[in-house]
Homo-oligomer: A and B are copies of this chain.
């Protein structure tokens, strides 16, 4: 259990901050003070403090010192999970049912589709994520064949498109939109809900080096699924 010194310094200071012993705005000891306190070189202290700064726990200003950051409510880190990983982590069996798959050109009246498709066709998929035999989420996905020509030959019944894309196409940019919608008749039936039931809608677009790759819209039964964002000692 030989914890490196720079890590120990990091952990101890992180503990002081998270416990509230050092409130936001508190000034931490200077590097030379810490250096004396821990009996180590400045580089070691610096490594610990730089890591805390990178993690957003402290703010460092030359000549002034290192200060405990005041957390911003407005931006927290949200983990949008890989559905398969999420389900198997709960110990439930996971399955993906491919409901429809086709290849077609972009609808010229849908600017968004045209933008995604570029010069090529689209692969259009609809599938159902199933957890322990019960419908968990409905997924509608568009994939640009201009960006991912291999998608034309992929077997999305064998490997869900999310996982397939993760293995074949590293993303560079992504945007997620979260909203709530009522279930339409067709959707309600697939998810075994009443028409109009509240659904959590997560829509994500990803790009690779500026080129659109895919757009996916996932619908979760609202009360059965939460997205969680944390700032704090949950770790």
Identify the A interface with B (CB < 8 A). 17-21, 23-25, 51, 54, 70-82, 85, 166-167, 169-182, 196-201, 204, 207-210, 220, 222-223, 225-234
In whole angstroms, how far apart are the Cα atoms of A171 and B17 in the complex? 9
Cβ B229 vs Cβ A23 within 8 A: no
Contact across chains for A71 and B170 when beta carbons are under 8 A apart? yes
Q: Is the CB of B80 within 8 A of A229?
A: yes
Q: Are B178 and A197 in contact (CB under 8 A)?
A: no
Asked if A177 and B228 make an inter-chain contact with CB atoms under 8 angstroms apart, the answer reads yes
Structural contact, B181 and A229, CB atoms closer than 8 A: no
Copies of this protein in the complex: 2
Q: Which residues of B contact A199 (CB under 8 A)?
A: 180, 198
A229-B74 contact in complex given A18-B173, A20-B208, A51-B54, C-beta closer than 8 Å: no
Given A19-B210, A81-B74, A179-B223, also A173-B231 (CB < 8 A): yes
Please name 5 further chain A to chain B contacts, defined as beta carbons within 8 Å, in addition to the given A51-B54, A75-B79, A175-B231, sorted by A numbering: A25-B170, A70-B167, A77-B77, A179-B223, A196-B196
Residue ID in chain B nearest A69 by CB atoms:
B170
Residue pair B232, A172 in contact (C-beta under 8 Å): yes
When C-beta atoms are compared, the residue in chain B nearest to A21 turns out to be: B209
For residue A227, which residues in chain B have a CB less than 8 angstroms away from its CB? Answer: 177-179
* Residue from B85, B166, B232 within 8 A of A173 (CB atoms): B232
